Structure formats: structure tokens, C-alpha cells
Amino acid sequence: MRPLSNFVIRHSKLSLFGFIALVLLSLIGGFQAFGNLKGGGYNDPGSDSEKVTQMLTKDFGQTDPEVVLVVDMGRSVDDVQSSANGDIISAELSKSAGVKTVSSYYSLGRTPTLKSKDGTAVYFFAKLEDGSKTAAVSKDIQDTFSGNHFGATIYVAGWGPITSEINHTIEGDLTKAESVAIPVTLLLMIFVFGSVIAAGLPLMIAGLTILGSFFFIWLASLFTDTSTFSVNLVTGLGLGLGIDYALLMVSRFREERAKNQDVSSAVQGTLMSAGRTVYFSGVTVALVMISMNFFPQYFLKSFAYAGLVAVFIAVAAALIALPAMLNLLGDGINKWPLFKHRPQKDDGVWSKLAKFVMKRPVAIILASVLALGSLAALGMNVKLGQVDDRILPTNNRVVLATDQIRDRFDGREGSPIEILVENATPQKITAYATDLSKHNHIVRVQTNLGIFANGELVPRTASYFSAYEKNSWTRIVAIADVEPRSPEGEAVTNDIRSVSSTFDQVLVGGSSAVYTDALNAITTNLPWAALWIILSTMVLLFLFTGSLILPIKAVILNFMSLFATMGFLVWVFMNGNLHWLIGDFASTGTIDSSSLVLVAVISFGLSMDYELFLLSRIKEQHDLGLDTTESVAVGLQRSGRIITTAALVLAVSFFAFASSGVSIMKMLGVGVGFAVLLDATVIRALLVPALMRLFGNANWYAPKWMKWVQKKVGLEH
């Protein structure tokens, strides 16, 4: 850290303006990132369901329709006028730019499951051109066909329109969130620092972090699929971490100046103390973010990239641009005061709270554990699901369209179960399809021999099944009557996979299988991700503190906070509470598995951030000769206000996402915001002082060989 501080002090203008210039130059590529980002990314690319998708596309030339239309004729769909209207709709839809093929109830042999239960509405399917902008084409179809047209009422659904609506909603949500978070954050900064200049520095670092991160998101999007939601994470995390690190640095600089040190010495002292904490914090948060790379879904991998980028830029800005600015400003940091800033005393509200807690540690621990356990218990009945159209507001047009499918049709024709079997014979197919068609929730089974329903064969012409055989593989399609991305869809998939057959190989795909495989990928890789988080953070905390006990305590407390947060999220989003506070969202009886992992990882990383803020101050006092009780009291006094303000800033940054129209962004905002506030209050202000009081001098114990390792690594304070 000393070589960096020497360089920044000697070359302050180069460090500051060079850093700003690099960020501004990076925007040439950074702003191009938005056009490269993708929706989706929840699937396991190595699963059987993905193999089926690839084979259907490459070998069979088949894909699920991107756009599904429900056309309500207002009369019997088999009426002559209804048929005529259907022909007009097919012709007009085929003329739409980007549409490859159109099929419907009328062109597919008037299969009964392709019309509604009351016989007045039918399905139309549109497949789009390869390489077309799915979201843009889908939006054009929505705008043109939704509503009353061609003598019918038309509802437009499907994954293409869902993606279009999500992208459109996210764009507006980002602006809305920033318009809430930035003014509130500025007011908090003014309250803490008392002057406009000092308050503006954290926002400057946050701005540089966010803008600089876009360049790396763009680079990632050139080489791999990158989720559109990564921009939201960069914005929230960049704003929060940038301000957190700047808060720590600016506060320490003022503290150093209050000791009558000259400006250069104050900057160096700030980098050697607060700068070290920022560095360790950034490395710790980055290591936690890497854990999302253990999961195969690019939705989560994108957040790993975005998290790493935001942390890297935030640390670089806090350790290069900010010290340079402090060195150039000197006492000018206090310009434009709105009220007089008073240096903190070592005997204040936070030290009194610490001493109060340490006088009755057992009672505080029991009460805190009971409260956290009660929150965690709310998540005992968690049911994991996967996102579908219902992550959008309940009055969104694509949700209303998909509700027509749920309410009016027996089968989910737009989300078929795709089965590929190897080395099939007519006898094997007949036996398999007959057995499968008898299973619960299977409406019909479609094969190259005909359609099977309830064990009966309904013959069809061979031309209808022209794309059902390729090389040694035969395609079988099953239509179920359950929500594909749900526990019921998972049960149907597992049921189909358990059906005995004499085929050489059976691969099951389609929406419900994609959901099942994605969920399996998360549950299979979760232990490895958790192990990585535990081991990496414990090693980093040991190198930071030189203690064996403190890293173990920190990890345990973080998991307690995390389980409490997960319970709270289940209560809100799975059980459908707090609509009055966070706005409208659909309660599906499940909670999105990928989003839950995302919230858990980010919350754990940010909680460890505050652990380092607090422990750095406590250890500093202990190294100066104070006993554990006094070290904790003084350390909490000197860091309490910073941690509280930092937590409020981060909470505001993420709570702003609660205004989003996309429920998984609501969950990200509410979950991380709640976790941060819980950590800054119950964990840092109550449980940490209480446990450190109980452990006493054992807090600082480590075997000699571990102390030797810390010294050799060169990270001893």
C-alpha cells in the first residue's frame, strides 16, 4: 500500500485526471453494452433438456414458437366466419417482418387441445427468422395484433413477448431507481460530512464505478452471453460500494487531519489504514461474487462478472482517484459547509451501546438468536420455482395474455414436453406413447404414428409428422396441463423420465424439463459455491486479523443473517405479503431459485464488507494496547456512524429496485436492502460486541504457525 500512496501523493493530478479520462474513454464501448445484453439465461447448458433443444434446432429444424397468440373468435371456432377470420389473421401475421412460419388450430388439423374449453378461442403460433431480434419483432407483433382485430380479440403471449416486456420495463426501472437513490444518498452524505464538497466525493467515486463498469460488461458481452439484469447489479453495487469505500476514506482523512498532520501525511495515513481495509473488503467481496460462477446458468455467471467488475472499479477509484482528490483539495474538502462538522469522540452513543451489550452478553445473544431464528423459520416451507411471465406486473399485457392460456385451455400447447428416443420401432413407440398418455397431467402424446390420448390412438396423416424422425432419433411430443416452470412441472418431468421403455436412449426436454434441470444444477452446485465462500472468506479474514476465532465467528454470523433474510423473502414473495409497501407483484407459491442464490451471494459479500469495517477499527485499538472490551467500545464508536451510513446508502440503492415492475428485481432490492440493515444493526451492533466480550483474549488467538504464515505473506497490520 505504501508504494501506491507515494505514487498518488507525488502524481495526484495524473492519478485523478488520468483515472477520469480512462473511464470517459471507456464509455465509447461501454454504452454499446446495452444492445448486446440478453434476457433469459436460467437454463443449464449441459443438461439433457439443453441437448434436446440443440438437437431439435440443428437436426429436426424445430423450435418452440417464440410468439403464441390466443385468438378469441367470440363464437364457435369451427364456424365458417371464424375459419375465414383465422385465414386472415394467419396471412397478416405471416407478412410481419421477422416472422418465419405461422401455424394454428386450423392448419394443424383442428386438434381439440388447440382450442379453448368453451370452444370460442384458438391457438396461433409464430416462429421467428433465425438471427432476428426476438424482443423487437415480438414487440411489433404485440403492438399490431393485441386487442380487437380481424373480427376477433387477440392476446399475444410467448417467451418473445415476455422478453420484450421485461427489457422495456427494466429500462424504465433503472432510471426510476437512480432518481430515487441518488438524491437520498446525497442528503445522507451531507448529513454525515456537513459540507457539499465532502458529500460530493462519495458520489463521484460511485459515478466513476458505475460508468467504468459498463466497459467491462460490454467486453463480457462480446465473448459470452450476458444477462440484461447485470446492468442493474452494476448500478446498485457500484453506487453502494463506491460510496461505502469513499465514506471510509474521507472520514479517515478528516480524522488524520484532526491530528494536525499535513495533507500529504494525512493522505498516506488514510491509505495505510482505511485503504488497507478497502483493499481487503474488495478482495473479500470479489471472492464471494466468484461463487456465482460455480453455477452453469449464464444469468448467474453474468452477475459474477458484473460483481467482479463493480468491486474492481470501486476499489481502484477509492485507492487511486479519491486519495489524489484529497491531496489536491486538502482542507478544501470542507468548503460550502451546511453545518459545522464536529469530530467524533471516543465516548459517544456507539461506545455506550457496546458497553451496554458487553455487560449482558448472554441475554443479548439469546434475544438476537431468537429473533433471527424466527425470521429464518419463515423460510422452512420454501418451494423453488423459475421465472415466467408472472415476474411482470399482474396487469401487464403479456401476463393477461398468458392468463388466457392458463384459464381457458386444457394443455400448454406453447410449452410442449419434447422427448427424443433413439432406435425406435413402431411397436416400441406405440407401447411407450400409450403408457405415457395414461399418466396424470398428460393431455396428449403426439408421435409419427398419430396422437395418443388416454391410451387411445387417433391416427393422423403422415405429412403432419414430417419432422418427427432424423437419423437414429425419433421425436415424441407430450402436452401437459400444468404450469411448466413450477414444482408441478418438475414432478411431470421426473414422472416422464421414470417411464420404462425399450429405447436405447431417452432424452426429455421442453420448458418443464429445462426448469427441472436448472433447479438440479443450482442444488447440485450450491454446496460447492458455499464451500468456496466459507473457505475463501475465512482465509482472507485471518490474513486481515491474524485471528483464528474472528473469521469463524464472522462466517457463522453472516449465515445467521442470511438465513433470516431468506426467511423474510419467502414470507414476502412466496407467500405474497407487503404488497402495500413494495407494490404489485404476482405470488405464484414459489420463489425463483436463481434470484434467491443471487440475493444470498450479494448479501453475504456486503455483510462481510461491514465486518471488515468494524474489525479493522477494533483490531487497531487492540494493537495499541487496549483490552478487548475497550477495543470493541472504541472501535464501534469510531466505525458505528460510518457503518450505519454505509448500510443506509446501500439499502437505499437496493431498496430503490423495489419500485421495479419486474418481481425478481423487487426481490433483489428488498432482499439485499433488508440483509444490509439487519447486518448493520443486529449483527454488528449487538452480536459482534456480545460474542467478542464472551471470547475475551481468545478473540486474538491463532497457532504460531498461522501467525508465521500471516507474517510471511506480508499482510500483518
Helix (H, G, I), strand (E, B) or coil at 452: strand
Average pLDDT, the chain: 87
The b/e string for 91-127 (b: 16+ C-beta within 10 A; e otherwise) is: eebeebebbeebebbbbeeebebbbbeeebbbbbbbb
Alpha-carbon dihedral 398, 399, 402, 408, rounded to 10 degrees: -130
Look at 187-191, 245-249, 660-664 and tell me which has the smallest mean pLDDT.
187-191
Q: What is the pLDDT of residue 461?
A: 44
Mean pLDDT of 56-84: 88
User: Is the confidence at residue 8, as pLDDT, over 70?
Assistant: yes
- For residues 8 and 30, the model is more confident at 8
Domains 1-30+189-341 and 66-157 share a fold: no
Q: How confident is the model at residue 507 (pLDDT cuts 50, 70, 90)?
A: very high
- Cα 122 from Cα 104, distance rounded (Å): 8
Mean pLDDT of 128-149: 87
Cβ-based burial of 533 (10 A; exposed 0-12, middle 13-18, buried ≥19): buried
Q: What is the pLDDT of residue 20?
A: 94
Q: What is the pLDDT of residue 380?
A: 86
- Give counts: helices (H), strands (E), the chain: 26, 14
Q: What is the pLDDT of residue 715?
A: 53
Q: What is the pLDDT of residue 345?
A: 67
Mean pLDDT of 528-552: 91
Match 458487553 to its residue by C-alpha cell.
358
CA count, 13 A, side-chain hemisphere, 574: 24
Q: How confident is the model at residue 344 (pLDDT cuts 50, 70, 90)?
A: low
User: Is the confidence at residue 717, as pLDDT, over 50?
Assistant: no
Q: Would you state the cell numbers that stand for residue 598, as one nine-digit string? A: 443471487
Domain coordinates in residue numbering, the chain: 1-30+189-341, 66-157, 399-516
Q: What is the pLDDT of residue 123?
A: 93
User: Is the confidence at residue 466, as pLDDT, over 50?
Assistant: no
Q: How confident is the model at residue 132 (pLDDT cuts 50, 70, 90)?
A: low
Look at 8-17, 207-216, 370-379, 707-716 and tell me which has the smallest mean pLDDT.
707-716
- For residues 96 and 469, the model is more confident at 96
- Cα 125 from Cα 86, distance rounded (Å): 12
Contact 672, 599 (CB under 8 A): yes
Mean pLDDT of 245-265: 88
- Domain with residues 66-157, CATH architecture: 2-Layer Sandwich (3.30)
Q: pLDDT tens-digit profile of 355-383?
A: 999 999 999 999 999 999 999 999 888 88
Strands 506-510 and 456-458: unpaired
Cβ-based burial of 67 (10 A; exposed 0-12, middle 13-18, buried ≥19): buried
Flag whether the pTM goes above 0.85.
no
Top mean pLDDT of 219-233, 309-323, 533-547 is at 309-323
Q: What is the pLDDT of residue 463?
A: 38
CA distances from 391 to 143, 198, 302, 484, 658 (A): 21, 40, 19, 15, 13
Q: pLDDT tens-digit profile of 194-243?
A: 788 888 888 899 899 999 999 988 888 888 888 877 887 888 888 888 88
User: Is the confidence at residue 460, as pLDDT, over 60?
Assistant: no
Looking at CATH, the fold of the domain delimited by 399-516 is given as: Alpha-Beta Plaits (3.30.70)
Cβ within 8 Å of residue 276, ≥6 positions away: 1, 616, 717
Q: How confident is the model at residue 623 (pLDDT cuts 50, 70, 90)?
A: confident
User: Is the confidence at residue 640, as pLDDT, over 50?
Assistant: yes
Q: Would you state the cell numbers that stand for residue 58, as one nine-digit string? A: 440443428
Query: Helix-strand-coil percent breakdown of the chain, rounded to 5?
Result: 65, 10, 25
Look at 322-331, 538-547, 561-570 and tell me which has the smallest mean pLDDT.
538-547
- For residues 344 and 247, the model is more confident at 247
- Cα 347 from Cα 659, distance rounded (Å): 40
Q: What is the pLDDT of residue 387?
A: 75
Q: How confident is the model at residue 340 (pLDDT cuts 50, 70, 90)?
A: low
Top mean pLDDT of 102-116, 181-195, 684-698 is at 684-698
Specify the CATH number of the domain 1-30+189-341: 1.20.1640.10
Q: What is the pLDDT of residue 462?
A: 41
Angle value at C-alpha 134, between 128 and 137, nearest 5 degrees: 80
- For residues 412 and 293, the model is more confident at 293
- Cα 270 from Cα 319, distance rounded (Å): 10
User: Is the confidence at residue 43, as pLDDT, over 70?
Assistant: yes
Q: What is the pLDDT of residue 278?
A: 92
Angle value at C-alpha 130, between 124 and 136, nearest 5 degrees: 70
User: Is the confidence at residue 351, as pLDDT, over 60?
Assistant: yes
- For residues 649 and 560, the model is more confident at 560
Q: What is the pLDDT of residue 236?
A: 80
Of 595, 612, 575, 560, the C-alpha closest to 670 is: 595
Cβ-based burial of 695 (10 A; exposed 0-12, middle 13-18, buried ≥19): middle
Look at 188-192, 304-308, 539-543 and tell me which has the smallest mean pLDDT.
188-192
Q: How confident is the model at residue 23 (pLDDT cuts 50, 70, 90)?
A: very high
User: Is the confidence at residue 341, as pLDDT, over 70?
Assistant: no
